[in-house]
């Protein structure tokens, strides 16, 4: 039997080194310090620095022959121009054997912070508190609305693809890894594929079926992400099967037989309602973000006494424990 956690999310966090790489005489991945930060849809991401300023940068690398990094750079630039919270792009192009994308070096991912926070919890909890989960929900809904208003479908929403600014206490996150993303205008409703696009644990039911991604599929994946950080798991989290494909099919069936409220059992109703709302959206229809946000904000008021946008940065979230250490 093999574990079928899903593509990308079951790979142990590996920190690999890369030989010295000087990019356009301006950015350096040092062989001694070039730590691998992670891996995205098609490439690996390393920490580097700008030689002139010493400022840290993130460098995404893939072998030449693909053009996914240039497409990702184009999407990032267009989203930045539209005011979406994404890393700034400093260089994209080819050099030697590699295609390269140099961008802002931000902080830890949402998954990284969740795991670190749980280490400090004496109860052995594997999730954020409800207040922290709601604050994150409101932040991520803002991110996704901006993304969708810019006409982009991400297609791989998961905790590893939300990254904090350098100071997590600011309660701000950016959405990263646009290697699978597409402009909605380039997606045909009748498109079918025999491959699951995205990360199985967080993929929508339609993604499991190989159907064309739309805005609702991103929203369904975001709902699974929020339930995961609020509960520490999902009903299909640990699946054993003879092959990964068999495991993915088990996940699909599990999702398909469970309603939103059943998946979000034990959480406020807004979590489960978000799943059902996403699943019922017609292809190309934008989610009603105002209504979803209002549901989370009412829960924040009920459990914290306040819920205005200005208050979000002031709420003491779980990661504030780092400042106390």
Q: pLDDT tens digits, the chain, 325 residues: what are they?
A: 333 333 333 223 334 556 678 899 999 997 655 578 877 556 789 999 999 999 999 999 988 767 789 999 999 999 999 888 899 999 999 998 889 999 999 988 999 999 999 988 877 789 999 999 999 999 999 999 999 999 999 999 999 999 987 665 566 899 999 989 999 999 999 989 988 999 999 999 999 999 999 999 999 999 999 999 999 999 999 888 889 899 999 999 999 999 999 999 999 999 999 999 999 999 999 999 999 999 999 999 998 887 776 677 778 889 887 655 4
Q: What secondary structure letter does DSSP report for 109?
A: B
As a whole number of angstroms, the distance between CA 256 and CA 44 comes to 33
Cα(37)–Cα(53) distance, integer angstroms: 21
Q: Where are the domains of the chain?
A: 2-104, 110-324
User: CB under 8 Å to 53, separation ≥6 — which residues?
Assistant: none
The answer to whether domain 2-104 and domain 110-324 are alike in fold is: no
**Predicted pLDDT at 239:** 84
- Contact (CB, 8 A) for 89 and 101: yes
Which residues, in sequence order, are CB contacts of 235 under 8 Å at separation 6+? 254, 258, 262, 263
Tokens representing 179 are 């290697």
Measure CA of the first residue to CA of the last residue in the chain; give whole Å.
42
H helices present in the chain, as ranges: 68-81, 110-119, 130-149, 205-208, 215-231, 244-257, 260-263, 269-279, 289-304, 321-324
Q: Which token pair is 116?
A: 């670190």
- Phi and psi (nearest 5°) for 127? -140, 165
Give the span between the Cα atoms of 139 and 221, in whole angstroms: 15
pLDDT score at 169 = 58
Superfamily of domain 110-324: Transferase(Phosphotransferase) domain 1 (1.10.510.10)
What's this model's pTM, rounded to 2 decimal places?
0.89
What is the rounded CA–CA span in Å between residue 320 and residue 310?
18
Q: 90 by DSSP, 3-state: which? A: strand
Q: Is 80 annotated as a binding residue?
A: no
Fold of 2-104: Phosphorylase Kinase; domain 1 (3.30.200)
Q: Distance between CA 218 and CA 149 in Å, rounded?
A: 13
141 close to 296: Cβ distance less than 8 angstroms = yes
Separation CA 41–CA 44 (nearest Å):
9
For residue 30, give the 3-state DSSP assignment: coil
Q: Is 19 exposed, middle or buried (0-12, 13-18, 19+ CB in 10 A)?
A: exposed
Q: Which residue out of 142, 156, 177, 318 is catalytically annotated?
A: 156
Beta strands 152-153; 56-63: pairing state = unpaired
- Judge whether 105 and 57 are in contact, CB under 8 Å: yes
Pick the closest to residue 181 from 265, 269, 75, 301 (CA basis).
Answer: 75
Q: Which positions ≥6 away from 163 have C-beta within 8 Å?
A: 106, 107, 108, 109, 110, 173, 174, 175, 176
156 is catalytic: yes
């Amino acid at each position: 039997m093999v574990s079928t956690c899903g593509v990308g999310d079951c790979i142990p966090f590996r920190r690999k080194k890369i030989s010295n790489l000087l990019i356009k005489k301006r950015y350096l991945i040092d062989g001694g310090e070039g730590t691998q930060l992670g891996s995205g849809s098609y490439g690996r991401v390393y920490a580097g620095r700008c030689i002139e300023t010493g400022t840290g940068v993130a460098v995404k690398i893939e072998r030449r022959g693909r053009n996914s990094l240039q497409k990702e750079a184009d999407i990032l630039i267009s989203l930045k121009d539209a005011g979406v919270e994404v890393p700034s792009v400093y260089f994209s192009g080819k050099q030697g054997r590699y295609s390269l994308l140099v961008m802002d070096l931000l902080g830890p991912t949402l998954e990284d912070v969740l795991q670190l926070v749980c280490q400090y919890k004496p109860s052995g909890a594997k999730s954020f508190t409800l207040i922290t989960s709601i604050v994150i929900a409101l932040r991520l809904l803002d991110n996704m609305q901006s993304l969708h208003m810019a006409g982009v479908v991400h297609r791989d929403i998961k905790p590893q693809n939300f990254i904090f600014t350098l100071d997590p206490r600011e309660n701000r996150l950016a959405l990263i890894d646009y290697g699978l993303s597409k402009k909605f205008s380039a997606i045909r409703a009748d498109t079918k594929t025999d491959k699951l696009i995205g990360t199985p644990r967080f993929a929508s039911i339609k993604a499991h079926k190989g159907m064309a991604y739309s805005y609702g599929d991103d929203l369904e994946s975001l709902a699974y992400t929020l339930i995961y950080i609020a509960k520490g798991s999902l009903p299909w989290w640990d699946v054993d099967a003879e092959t990964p494909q068999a495991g993915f099919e088990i996940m699909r069936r599990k999702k398909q037989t469970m309603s939103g409220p059943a998946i979000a059992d034990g959480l406020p109703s807004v979590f489960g309602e978000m799943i059902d709302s996403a699943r019922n959206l017609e292809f190309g229809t934008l989610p009603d973000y105002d209504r979803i946000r209002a549901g989370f904000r009412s829960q924040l008021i009920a459990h914290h006494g306040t819920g205005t946008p200005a208050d979000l940065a002031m709420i003491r979230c779980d990661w504030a424990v780092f400042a106390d250490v």
